[in-house]
Amino acid sequence: MDRLDYDNVKGFLNTKYMGRNIAYFDKITSTNDIAKKLGDEGEKEGLIVISEEQTKGRGRMGRKWSTHKGDAIAMTLLLRPNIPPKDAPSITPLLALSIVEGIKDLTGIECGIKWPNDVVLDGKKLSGILTEMKLSGAKINYIAAGIGININQSAFEDEIADIATSLKRFSGLDFNRARILGEILNSLEKNYEEFKANGISVFIEKLKKYSVLIGQRVRIELTNEKIEGKVVDMGEDGSLIISNDNGELKRVISGEVSLSWYYKAK
């Protein structure tokens, strides 16, 4: 098995700080939990917690995320951006874009982004992101950005068999996980630096290009509202613009999106 420790990953990195400090584990509860602990202890931005297996891997909306030994990437990135907390939701699509670009640069496989948190391939989920933020007063203390990417799985558990895919399932090939990880981190550092300097607006064209939602009918659950309609555009702030059945335009900055062909049962 190609271990995802620093010795194996460093040869694929051209970053200054992203992934230069890897906390590597064979088995832990959840990389997000450890990253948050290290964040509380003051670790620097760019730290990555990686585990080959997670016993309590978490997805969004209280869902479970399984990570079995050696066939996926399960990691959490520690970020400390000096931006207003209201701009933090943009980091999730920025991560999704970096995953898409890293995979495309290395393999030529073009994935899509199901805004804001998922990377999809062939209409199925390849990667999910769980971003957790800790504030200190009105400022961001840290963001623990958990990323799961399906790489070499040949099959999935029954409950997700119809909605999940891996690079191997799609292409029939086995991939070097360390190399994919390196390429994603390279793309991520570049994008993150640009985001800190210029905001999310400079990424909108790319986010639109890879979006699988534009033109689709969706249902979005917000804390106290449900919006149904057609996605017509993406705003300069990275929000999704939806035309509802009364023809009103609604802007959504984050939320859980249901598509008719995706996550049917969830």
Among 78, 129, 151, 227, binds ligand BTN (CB under 6 A): 129
Q: Please say which residue, 88 or 241, places its beta carbon nearer to ligand BTN.
A: 88
Q: Please say which residue, 177 or 229, places its beta carbon nearer to ligand BTN.
A: 177
Binding residues among 30-69 for ligand BTN as defined by CB under 6 A: 30-32, 54, 57-60, 63, 65
**Which contacts of 99-105 are long-range, i.e. CB under 8 A and separated by 24 or more positions?**
99/127, 99/147, 99/149, 99/184, 99/187, 100/210, 101/187, 101/191, 102/180, 102/183, 102/184, 102/185, 102/186, 102/187, 102/188, 103/167, 103/180, 103/183, 103/184, 105/183, 105/187
Binding residues among 147-166 for ligand BTN as defined by CB under 6 A: 147-148
Q: Is 253 helix (H, G, I), strand (E, B) or coil?
A: coil
Angle subtended by helix axes 91-107 and 177-198, to nearest 10: 140
Among 89, 102, 146, 238, binds ligand BTN (CB under 6 A): 146
CB of 178 to ligand BTN, least distance (A): 16
CB of 137 to ligand BTN, least distance (A): 27
* Binding of residue 211 to ligand BTN (CB under 6 A): no
Is the Cβ–Cβ distance between 184 and 102 less than 8 Å? yes
Stretch that binds ligand BTN, among 82-90, 140-148, 193-201, 251-259 (CB under 6 A): 140-148
Interface residues toward ligand BTN, by CB under 6 A: 30-32, 54, 57-60, 63, 65, 74-76, 117-118, 128-130, 146-148
